[in-house]
Amino acid sequence: MAKDYKEFFEALADLEREKGISESVFIKALADALGSAYKRQFEDDTGIVDVRIDPDKYSMRFFLVHTVVDAEEAGEGEMLLADALNIRTDAKVGDVLEQEFVPKDFSRIAAQTAKQVILQKIHETERDNTLSEFSDKEGELMSGLVRKVEAKNVYIELGKAQIEGLMLPMDQVPGEKYTPGDRIKVFVKRVKSGGKNAQVLVSRSSSGLVRRLFEEEVPEIKQGIVTIKAVSREAGHRTKMAIHSEDPRIDAVGACVGNKGARVNAVVQELGGEKIDIILWSENPLEFIAKALSPATVISVTQLTEKSAVAVVPDDKLSLAIGRDGQNARLAARLTGWKIDVKSESAAAKLNLGDYTDPAGTEE
């Protein structure tokens, strides 16, 4: 019997070398698949088909397996004691009876099953290998082609490997339209590899997308001359980005804005017109808060507790400082990591405020 399978196992060894498929993984999958296929030959039997494959001996053996039970009715993989005694006179409850058999129509079923398992394992291996190559792409910017939009999910073809990226509704920008054939830039959030749930999750709403777009447009950021300290974003509406340079000779804001606004405008265009405030970071948190409330002028910022402060603005700048639906103040709070209470000058007149005062204001 062994010689009949030698060619088959040699072909498996070739597959392992060429496709990187583990022989042990393949053999287990093949044994399970053959067991399921041949179980249909015993439709009226409760036994389990156990396929034992030994590549060293080039052998495949088939067994119908039952566990002997003392019950009124036999379940899956079980045999009543009375029936077991007809097979083996010394059978007792708990024994496992194995009956070797020769499958009917072996060549056709085995070949068909092996082909299906081989194709499945090749697909899984190639997918996992490609995903492994993508594991270092987490947090990176990639260009992709929208392949389809289905059940509010957007599927994007990424890179030369043409692996599929998934953009869930929460990672999409409100108001953006995604049409098959469109080429877009996405931020790789997470690479999940292994098993049927392997996938690459991408985003257009992540603040990481803004970071990477500026790195692409601003050489000083890529070179580390200018550092992005923090980004807060409400995708499709507004982003605030705090930047800093250790070199006092460098105009960090000017580097990000570019000649006649060319660099920042390129990012804005990629984001579909989203407003971007570029703010100079300060190690003084109260000064940083004043700048973060740009484009409003801030008269003073007073610390209340460890991470909360009151920012005072001119009466006519209150709505600008707070922003529509509180957006400007909310983004400033996220950017600085402080809770910010914005008050008008007249409302704050009776309060003794003034830890930080910007006599020139911060209007940009």
CA 329 remoteness from chain centre: 30
pLDDT at site 210: 97
Q: Are 318 and 329 in contact (CB under 8 A)?
A: no
pLDDT in tens, 61-75: 889 999 999 888 888
pLDDT in tens, 147-193: 999 989 999 988 766 678 899 999 999 999 999 999 999 999 988 76
pLDDT at site 6: 74
Please state, as a whole number, how many other Cβ atoms lie within 10 Å of the Cβ of residue 96: 10
pLDDT over threshold 60, residue 249:
yes
Q: Which domains does the chain have, with CATH numbers?
A: 2-133 (3.30.1480.10), 143-203 (2.40.50.140), 206-281 (3.30.300.20), 285-364 (3.30.300.20)
327 vs 114, which has greater pLDDT? 327
pLDDT at site 348: 83
Question: How many angstroms separate the CA atoms of 284 and 301, rounded?
Answer: 11
Alpha helices by DSSP H, listed for 79-105, are 81-87
pLDDT at site 93: 93
| pLDDT confidence bin for 130, thresholds 50/70/90 | low
Please state, as a whole number, how many other Cβ atoms lie within 10 Å of the Cβ of residue 315: 10
Question: How many angstroms separate the CA atoms of 339 and 329, rounded?
Answer: 9
DSSP 69-126: E-SSS--TTEEEHHHHHHH-TT--TT-EEEEEEPPTTHHHHHHHHHHHHHHHHHHHHH
pLDDT over threshold 60, residue 224:
yes
The kind and range of the H/E element at 309 are: strand 308-313
